[in-house]
Amino acid sequence: MDPKFAVLDTKWNEYWIGGYQVVKKWLSYRPLNLLGRALTVEESRHVTNMIRCLAMIVLLTDELNANYLACRGL
């Protein structure tokens, strides 16, 4: 595994937006016993893309924060 991605194993999963862990919340609406089926291919792709986006946000957090502060003149 690429060393810069090693930290992502837990950080993307622990990422919170609006008081919710994003992936956990999304998956909580799709349990097997509620749906009566496994995730569809489209749903699997969606959650995979969501995880990729969260992983990139985690990797870019310091840079994004610095840019935000620079724009605010702080």
Q: What is the pLDDT of residue 32?
A: 83
With pLDDT > 70 as the criterion, what percentage of the chain qualifies? 88
20-50 tens-digit pLDDT: 888 888 888 888 888 889 889 999 899 889 8
Q: Which residues pair with 21 in a beta bridge?
A: 16
Q: Are 66 and 60 in contact (CB under 8 A)?
A: no
| Boundaries of every domain in the chain | 39-74
Radius of gyration of the chain (CA): 16
pTM for this structure?
0.70
Q: What is the pLDDT of residue 55?
A: 87
Nearest CA-CA partner of 61 in 3, 18, 21, 7: 7
